[in-house]
A and B are shown apart, each in its own frame.
Chain A
């Protein structure tokens, strides 16, 4: 069973895609060009503070708003290992899975952690914080298949015989 730990950054409810990456930066050429502006309307300093392996913890409806796939891509490019939120908006959820960004749904952790705390995730089992354990529900099989293929691009490459 895969297990990893990370330092958490804590955000609130309804973190929308305009907060994750404002529209004015969407025409920059690459996702890497956009990452310095991640979360800038809410916390302009955050993108520079996030370090590889950190974990993002948020409230309900994370990723609501537009269909911009740069939102999960940027979170991944910042080095975030996984997002743990109370709930996710549906387009963001699909986009994250297709890009191999791990999302975990848990409605208790957000209100128990403080920024800078360490949490440990055991995939498909539970999250540990201080002395508490929070259970994780497992994903439907068709999503597991996309993740196991390494994302939707790789799944299609396999289908088309180009990898």
Chain B
């Protein structure tokens, strides 16, 4: 019988055929720890009695949620992180290069077929290059740092097949939001998602990242795209035979198969304050807004900033609206300067912040208060995520967000 992508990745890792529901111990190819949790990982690691990291080349420490510090005690996380990295000889530490999920693939830490865990729920992102990656807590991270292994339950797979050409005003973000709405916020809990179809094949790796990033908002354990030539170019590698075989077999068993026609998608938003409360933007038109946020590990990539620039070119943000743009990494920031994107955005009145998690985790760069409304390109609109619990957060694509910033209210992008 055929296998899904996740079954192949796990089979290659453990050396035997696996089935959904099997509990297996995998050898971990790479781990990511970010600044919020490093003090806790460090404490648990020593409390457990470990004296060395199983493979110092395989652990990556990234400061992003607290960079630069916005509260007095934040720098303690950097000091404790630095001390841990020095004591245990960690090779890979990024202190201000961008958001963890952007850097893990951008800096080449994750390759197709890898098994990767991170202390962040959006670790599902690396499925964009055909890696099995998922979020865990700091206690499990400490145990991986010591042992190099973790138990997992092999997940069932939901296949999502999309065919056709997307309308010009629709982005990958609209697809994943629509899908989360259809599945529900727990519709893929404990399961893998697998994306196929010619629409997916045409999509850039950056767009695939937006989708794998948000898969966790439907509860998914991971979200996989078969590695192809686009993946190889992005990862600056040639795919091996084993990596090319990471596609879902035609006779593989899926617990659910969803089919979509690309032409049917429209710009959508996730309305306050649930990720699965999805409505077409056309039904929300006219709602006045106070702020727009374009950034995060979901939508802070070059193509996102360029899509926004295309919308705002030659125009200006509405008088009472603040447009906050946060590139996902320093590399993207520099590319956006070099290709003129930043020129267009700043001419239009954008406030550009340093690459980091920024407003997405509600700690810095545009915190809002009661009864204010923000259109944002990140991944969560939970109560209190960007300020007080009475802030209305509408999640949207960069194209929709940029159009709203110009109009000062919710509008359907051109």
The minimal Cβ–Cβ distance linking B146 to chain A, given in whole angstroms, is: 7
> A60 touches which one: B135, B186, B382, B385 (CB < 8 A)?
B186
Evaluate contact between A89 and B47: CB separation under 8 angstroms. no
Most buried by B among A14, A87, A151, A157: A14
Residues on the A chain within 8 Å of B221, using CB: 90
Per-residue contact bits, chain B 120-151, to A (CB 8 Å; 1 contact, 0 not): 11010000000000111111101100110001
Evaluate contact between A67 and B151: CB separation under 8 angstroms. no
Binds B, one of A24-32, A47-55, A118-126: A24-32
Count of inter-chain pairs, beta carbons less than 8 A: 132
Residues on the A chain within 8 Å of B146, using CB: 156, 160
Evaluate contact between B382 and A90: CB separation under 8 angstroms. no
Q: How far is the CA of A42 from the CA of B254 in the complex (A)?
A: 37
- The verdict on B280 contacting chain A, using a C-beta distance below 8 Å, is no
Evaluate contact between B382 and A19: CB separation under 8 angstroms. yes
Q: How far is the CA of A66 from the CA of B334 in the complex (A)?
A: 29
- The verdict on A35 contacting chain B, using a C-beta distance below 8 Å, is no
Evaluate contact between A18 and B384: CB separation under 8 angstroms. yes
- The verdict on B40 contacting chain A, using a C-beta distance below 8 Å, is yes
> A16 touches which one: B66, B139, B189, B382 (CB < 8 A)?
B382
> B137 touches which one: A22, A88, A94, A157 (CB < 8 A)?
A94
- The verdict on B352 contacting chain A, using a C-beta distance below 8 Å, is no
Most buried by B among A26, A29, A88, A140: A26
Evaluate contact between B190 and A65: CB separation under 8 angstroms. no
Evaluate contact between B137 and A67: CB separation under 8 angstroms. yes
Evaluate contact between B362 and A23: CB separation under 8 angstroms. yes
Binds A, one of B71-79, B159-167, B257-265: B71-79
Q: How far is the CA of A130 from the CA of B118 in the complex (A)?
A: 44
Evaluate contact between A142 and B139: CB separation under 8 angstroms. no
Evaluate contact between B219 and A64: CB separation under 8 angstroms. yes
Q: How far is the CA of A23 from the CA of B36 in the complex (A)?
A: 9
Category for how many chain B residues contact A:
35 or more
Evaluate contact between B121 and A91: CB separation under 8 angstroms. yes
Evaluate contact between B219 and A69: CB separation under 8 angstroms. no
Evaluate contact between B384 and A22: CB separation under 8 angstroms. yes
Evaluate contact between B389 and A42: CB separation under 8 angstroms. yes
Evaluate contact between A91 and B48: CB separation under 8 angstroms. no
Residues on the B chain within 8 Å of A27, using CB: 36, 66, 71, 73-74, 76-77
Residues on the B chain within 8 Å of A91, using CB: 121, 134-137
Most buried by B among A28, A153, A163: A153
The minimal Cβ–Cβ distance linking B19 to chain A, given in whole angstroms, is: 15
> B363 touches which one: A23, A29, A42, A142 (CB < 8 A)?
A23
Q: Which of A135-163 contact B (CB under 8 A)?
A: 140, 142, 151-153, 156-157, 160-163
Q: Which of A84-111 contact B (CB under 8 A)?
A: 87-91, 94-95, 98-99
Residues on the B chain within 8 Å of A163, using CB: 49
- The verdict on B361 contacting chain A, using a C-beta distance below 8 Å, is yes
Evaluate contact between A156 and B49: CB separation under 8 angstroms. yes
The minimal Cβ–Cβ distance linking A39 to chain B, given in whole angstroms, is: 10
The minimal Cβ–Cβ distance linking A29 to chain B, given in whole angstroms, is: 7
- The verdict on A5 contacting chain B, using a C-beta distance below 8 Å, is no
Evaluate contact between A87 and B120: CB separation under 8 angstroms. no
> B44 touches which one: A22, A87, A153 (CB < 8 A)?
A153
- The verdict on B185 contacting chain A, using a C-beta distance below 8 Å, is yes
> B140 touches which one: A22, A26, A66, A94 (CB < 8 A)?
A94
The minimal Cβ–Cβ distance linking A141 to chain B, given in whole angstroms, is: 8
> A67 touches which one: B73, B136, B274, B383 (CB < 8 A)?
B136
Evaluate contact between B49 and A162: CB separation under 8 angstroms. yes
Q: How far is the CA of A89 from the CA of B385 in the complex (A)?
A: 18
Q: Which of B375-398 contact A (CB under 8 A)?
A: 380, 382-385, 389
Closest to B66 in A: A27
Evaluate contact between A156 and B48: CB separation under 8 angstroms. yes
- The verdict on B50 contacting chain A, using a C-beta distance below 8 Å, is yes
Evaluate contact between B49 and A69: CB separation under 8 angstroms. no
Evaluate contact between A87 and B50: CB separation under 8 angstroms. no
Residues on the A chain within 8 Å of B143, using CB: 152, 156
Q: Which of A68-96 contact B (CB under 8 A)?
A: 68-69, 87-91, 94-95
Evaluate contact between B48 and A157: CB separation under 8 angstroms. yes
Closest to A31 in B: B40
Evaluate contact between A98 and B120: CB separation under 8 angstroms. no
Q: Which 4 A-B pairs have the closest CB atoms?
A: A162-B49, A160-B49, A69-B137, A41-B384
Extra 12 A-B pairs, beta carbons < 8 Å, given A19-B382, A24-B71? A14-B185, A23-B65, A23-B362, A27-B66, A27-B74, A64-B186, A88-B189, A90-B219, A91-B134, A98-B139, A140-B23, A156-B147
Interface residues, chain A, with chain B CB atoms under 8 Å away: 14, 16, 18-19, 22-24, 26-29, 40-42, 60-61, 64-69, 87-91, 94-95, 98-99, 140, 142, 151-153, 156-157, 160-163
Q: Name 8 interchain pairs, CB-CB below 8 A, sorted by A.
A: A14-B274, A18-B385, A19-B382, A19-B383, A28-B73, A64-B186, A66-B121, A160-B48
